[in-house]
Amino acid sequence: MSNRPYRIALNGYGRIGRCVLRAFYERNAAFNFEIVALNDLADMASLEYLTRFDSTHGRFPGEVRVEGDCLHLNGHCVKVLRESTPEGIDWRALGVDLVLECSGVYNTRAGGQRFIDAGAPRVLFSQPMSGAADVDATVVMGINHDQLSGAEQLVSNASCTTNCGVPLLKLLNDAVGLDYVSITTIHSAMNDQPVIDAYHHDDLRRTRSAFQSVIPVSTGLARGIERLLPELSGRIQAKAVRVPTVNVSCLDITLQTSRDTDAQTINRILREAAEGGPLKGLLAYTELPHASCDFNHDPHSAIVDGSLTRVSGPRLVNLLAWFDNEWGFANRMLDVAEHYLRVAHHA
C-alpha cells in the first residue's frame, strides 16, 4: 500500500462544499488525505471570491489565488473542473480515492452509480438518500461509523439534523429507554427559499420570503433517524420550521421515557458522554445562557443546553440541542471520509 495521502475531489462547491474545504484547511494536520480537485459550474472569479470571503465563517485562513485552472490555497493547487454531469469527468484519471458529493443533486443509487461508472472508486454524499436501498451505508460519526467494512462504494453522511439527534436518542434509549419521540427542528434559512416572495419551489410555503417569516417545511428527519436506530421505528414524529437567521439551528426534542427519570439524571448522562467516550468531540454540553449565534463555526454535531432540560411528571422529557448546520456537518464529512478511506484501504 502506498504511503501517499489519499486523494479527494469535491463535486459541488456551494455552502457545504466550501465549508468542507475550509474546514479541511483549518484542520489539515488531522487528515491523511488531500483535496485535489473540485467540480462546480461557477466562474473562477466567483469561486476565488467566495472561498476568500464568507459572510458566515469569515475570511479564509491563508492564501487564495487563481492561476489557470487551479485554485491555489496555501500553496496547494486544487484543480477546478466545470462539468455538469458526473460522466463529464474522468475520475480515474484524476487518481481520486473518494468523491465528496456536495451538490445535493444525486440522492438515488442510479445517480451515485454514475460517478462509479465514470471511474470514481467510492462516493460520500452530503445528504441522506431517497431510500435505504439507494446507498450501501448511512453513517453518523460516533454511532455506526465502525460498521463500515471498506467494501462500500456509496455512503451517505446523513443530514445535519440526524447527526445532531441520533447520538442523543441512542444515549437516552440505552440509559432510560424511549417509548415515543417528537422532534421539532428550528433551522436557519436555506437556499431553497427566496429572499423575497418568488416562484421558487413546489412547496408553496417555500415561495415566501425567508427573512420575513417563520416557515414550516417538510422534513424526513424521522425516517432518517429510524434508518440509524431501527429499534425506534414507528415511534418517532418530526416537523421543521425555518427561521430568519443565516446559520445555527437546534432540535427541540420531547421524549416519553420507559423508566422514571428527572432532569438531573438526563443531564448527567449527556454531560458525561460529552466529556468522555466515543462521543467526545462530537457532543458538547453547556448550561450557560447561550443564544444561537454563540455556536457559529462550532464543529460539534450537537451541543446540549442543559439549562433548558425539563421533565414533566416522571417520564416526559424535553431537551434542546444546538448545532451549526453548516460547520458541524462539514466537519463530520471530513471525519467520515478519513475513516472510510482508512478502512477501505485496509479491507
Do the Cβ atoms of 303 and 327 come closer than 8 Å? no
3-state secondary structure 39-64: ECCCCHHHHHHHHHEECCCEECCCCE
102 is an active site residue: no
* Buried-state track 215-241, b at ≥16 Cβ within 10 A, e below 16: bebebebbebbbbbbeebeebbebebb
Give the β-pairing of 310-312 and 316-323: antiparallel
Spatial distance between the Cα atoms of 300 and 331, rounded to a whole number of angstroms? 8
* Selected catalytic residue, list 160, 164, 250, 293: 160
Sign for the CA dihedral angle at 301, 305, 310, 315 comes to positive
Do the Cβ atoms of 255 and 173 come closer than 8 Å? no
Give the β-pairing of 154-156 and 53-54: unpaired
Cα-only R_g, the chain? 20
Q: Which of 345, 341, 172, 340 is nearest to 266 (CA)?
A: 172
Spatial distance between the Cα atoms of 34 and 52, rounded to a whole number of angstroms? 19
Say how many CA atoms lie within 13 Å of 286 toward its Cβ: 16
Spatial distance between the Cα atoms of 190 and 210, rounded to a whole number of angstroms? 8
237: left (phi over 0), alpha (psi -120 to 50) or beta: beta
Q: Does residue 86 sit in helix, strand or coil?
A: helix
Instruction: Return the residue matching grid coordinates 458525561.
Output: 272
Burial of 214 (0-12, 13-18, 19+ CB in 10 A): exposed
- Which active-site residues does the annotation give? 160
